[in-house]
Chain A
Amino acid sequence: MRVTDSMQIGNLLRTNARMKTQLAARSRTAATGSKIAAPSDDPVAAARLARVQAQIDRTTAYRNTISSVKPDAELAESSLAVAQDIVKRANELALMGANDTVNAQSRIDIGKEVAELHKQLLAIANTKGNTGYLFAGTATTVAPFDAAGAWVGNINSRNAEVAPGVTVNFNINGANAFTVSGGRDILADFTALETALNTNNSAGIAAQVTNMDSAHKQLGTSRTEAGVLLARFETADSTHQLVEVAQARTRASIVDADPVQAYTEFNAAQTMLEQSMSVTRNILESLRNNKLT
């Protein structure tokens, strides 16, 4: 084959251009640490990345949901614990008041403490968390118990998806915790106890001892529900943490370039370009000098 000047020059230009393109690609990978800049770099990996990214987004959503609702569940659990303490104290006071040795004035004095406990219990039943009134169902903007202790909330559940296909009711049913739906209308029992103490009604006081005992159990049941809910959140979040790590690893395996390989390939490309430029220099030199004089 005849080798002409334009062939030589053309080949040099094309080879150098190819080497520069290769170097640009290798330097991009080495500098960014990413082996996929566009879908065409690896179509299968790019499609996989879109799906993995969606899974990562969902895991993030689950964890955000849990972190949003968990404080209110914790608050509900601790509120119910305090409510149980109040009821327990009321039970003790009822027992004290029921004793026949206690006179009418003493019962009125005990009634005053019960009234105070009643107010505290009403405040707890109307506890407001980050997402509204805790025991109001979905009527989160209105206190579930009015000043007289009457139930004005609803029993709708508030739900959130905390794991794939796992929807949980993240609010505690206020009606079950405090009203007759759960067995006893606790606030009404407090009113009845107060009345019995103030009217020196021994039988009425004695009746409330049993009721307070039932109320304590009723609140305990709701508190257990809150505890179970918190445990579910903990378990789900722990699982999500593991999933998150696995998903991040999967994403990294798709996107991240191996630094050693990337840098080695970059160096190889740089060396090849330098060699190509050196060959170019030599050939141009020979084209310039190697003529008959």
Chain B
Amino acid sequence: MSLNGLFGLSRDALLANAYALNVTGQNVANANTRGYARREVQLETAPSGTATFGGVRARGLERITDQFTDNRYYNAQGYQASTDTRQSSMQAIDELFSDVNGLGLSDSLGGLFNAFSELATNPNDLTLRTNVLARTDQLCERFRSTATQLTRQRDELLSQARDSVKQINTITTSLADLNQKIQAAQGTPGDGADLKDQRDRLIDDLSKLINVETFVDSSNRFVVRGGGVTLVEASGAVTTAVALDGAGNLKFTYQGTSVASDFTSLITSGKLQGLKIARDSDAAQVQTSLDQLAFDIGTAINTQHAAGFGLDGVTGRNLFNVVAIPGTAANLTVNAALVGQPSRIAAASTAASLPGGGDNAVAIFKISDTKVATGNTRTPSEAYGDLVGDVGQRGQAAKMDADVRTAMAEQSTNLRDSSRGVSTDEEMITLTKYQRSYEAASKLLRTVDELLGDLIRIRG
């Protein structure tokens, strides 16, 4: 190799190390950027024909990623999002049944039975009768407000499902677009690395909404599967939608070029699954149990009340207006015929025992300890206890699931960060390494220059 050749060698070394310093700089700059995968420079010997003095050149860079780790991470993110969504929903339901401070249904239920017990001692007392009506109204209001909160909760979850589906569609459209750009960038020195970061970030977001799996197919096309179906394939994406099925439950569909298909049962994690469990299992079951409780108590009291007599001597009146399940709790009201008419409360069991007879009030009070609920197997308070227990179990299970899934998500996040994340300590060492190489290449250039200078002086 001639001295002139050394100039070329130095130039290549300076260029390659400058490129490496750029890549290191990018790593440092993006140490905290979400979705960023650290880069490694690919240096290689630049062959100079058959000579052995080839220089160095940067072939490009490599994004440090691992498909297995990524898919594991997406999986964990999905489960965490699912359990978090469910826990958040159950927390709201949980609070509706907190009776520790006597503000829940239990207090209102006890208050009504006790009002009848007091009425039995002096059925002709209008104050006690008014108290019974007020307590009845309070119980109805408590049932209605709890049912309304549950309905609102379910509506809110439906809205969230709609928003999530919109998000999925936006993400899949962007992914399809990115796939196209990445395809075009392939083979360039950067290899579309920044675009791939963007794509990973979007898949990360998508994995929190629906169970996601990614792979490169045999035709080298990047495929994103979500909810068990192909959502994105190369530059094509399907559209997802949510609607309510005949039973009022969430139904998720996807549509490519053909007709829409139901893929609800294939959604196994992500926010969509959490919303489905929270809305169609937790909230729906609690709502049904609440309706059943309202129906059982309302019907039992109505039957007894209708058997009694008001101070006006009239019998056959119900205390509540009870509609059939579903919607019993949400529509429970005081019988309109009794509103503002305390004298119509049927405290007496016979017309002959008016006005001081209170046997019917006693009989209504006794319902509090009679198995009238859940197919005549539970007392009202036992049935309410069962409902509270069920809410608690669901809340606790949701919390425990969320804790476990959070821990697993943390592990997979750490695992993924460990392989693709930036360590500024490492980068500082790398930076020093390429800095020294660059300085050495400069020195080589200076040395060659000095040698040539000496040569020119000798010859001149």
Contact = CB atoms under 8 A, between A and B. Distances in A.
Interface string B345-357: 0001010111111
Nearest to B31: A5
Given A38-B98, A138-B353, A141-B124, A43 B396 contact: yes
A140 B311 CA distance: 12
B118 interface: yes
Interface stretch (B160-168, B183-191, B202-210, B416-424): B416-424
B93 to A, nearest CB: 9
Nearest to B380: A54
Nearest to A43: B392
Interface in A128-148: 130-132, 136-141
Contacts of A154: 352-353
| B interface residue count range (under 10 / 10 to 19 / 20 to 34 / 35 or more) | 35 or more
Interface stretch (A6-14, A79-87, A193-201, A239-247): A6-14
B421 A6 contact: yes
Interface residues of A, number: 63
A164 B391 CA distance: 30
Interface in B362-390: 362, 365-366, 368-369, 379-382, 384-386, 388-390
A51 B362 contact: no
A101 interface: no
Contact of A54 (B357, B365, B368, B431): B368
Given A5-B31, A39-B94, A39-B388, A131 B396 contact: no
B124 A140 contact: yes
A42 B389 CA distance: 9
A103 interface: no
A47 interface: yes
B121 A160 contact: yes
Contacts of B358: 158-160
A158 B121 CA distance: 8
Contacts of B355: 138-141
Contacts of A159: 120, 358-359, 362
Interface in A47-105: 47-51, 53-55, 57-58, 60-62, 64-65, 68-69
B353 A47 contact: no
B396 A54 contact: no
B197 to A, nearest CB: 14
A255 B101 CA distance: 10
B385 A50 contact: yes
A130 B122 contact: yes
Contact of B110 (A2, A57, A138): A57
Interface stretch (A208-216, A259-267, A285-293): A285-293
B385 A47 contact: yes
Contact of A49 (B100, B110, B429): B100
A47 B389 contact: yes
A82 B120 CA distance: 28
Given A3-B418, A3-B423, A42 B392 contact: yes
A44 interface: yes
B106 A53 contact: yes
A109 interface: no
A4 B117 contact: no
A57 B114 contact: yes
A5 B106 contact: no
Interface string B332-348: 00000000000000001
B422 A4 contact: yes
A54 B367 CA distance: 12
A103 to B, nearest CB: 49
Contacts, number: 215
B381 A5 contact: no
Contacts of B391: 39-40, 43, 46
A234 interface: no
A44 B421 contact: no
B356 A158 contact: yes
Nearest to B114: A61
A4 B426 CA distance: 9
Interface in B108-132: 109-111, 113-114, 117-118, 120-122, 124-125
Given A2-B418, A10-B417, A40-B396, A68 B122 contact: yes
A39 B97 contact: yes
B179 to A, nearest CB: 26
A137 B358 CA distance: 11
B217 interface: no
A9 B392 CA distance: 35
Contacts of B432: 292
B60 interface: no
Contacts of A287: 424
Given A40-B94, A42-B392, A291-B425, A156 B368 contact: no
A37 interface: yes
A203 interface: no
Contacts of A47: 385-386, 388-389, 392
The 10 closest A-B CB pairs, nearest first, are A40-B395, A43-B392, A54-B381, A39-B392, A4-B421, A47-B389, A57-B110, A140-B356, A138-B356, A50-B385
23 contacts: A1-B418, A3-B418, A3-B423, A5-B32, A5-B421, A6-B31, A7-B418, A10-B410, A40-B392, A40-B396, A50-B385, A57-B113, A58-B110, A58-B369, A61-B117, A68-B122, A131-B122, A137-B353, A156-B352, A156-B356, A160-B120, A160-B358, A164-B369
Interface of B: 31-32, 90-91, 94-95, 97-100, 102, 106-107, 109-111, 113-114, 117-118, 120-122, 124-125, 348, 350, 352-359, 362, 365-366, 368-369, 379-382, 384-386, 388-396, 398-399, 410, 413-414, 417-419, 421-426, 428-429, 431-432
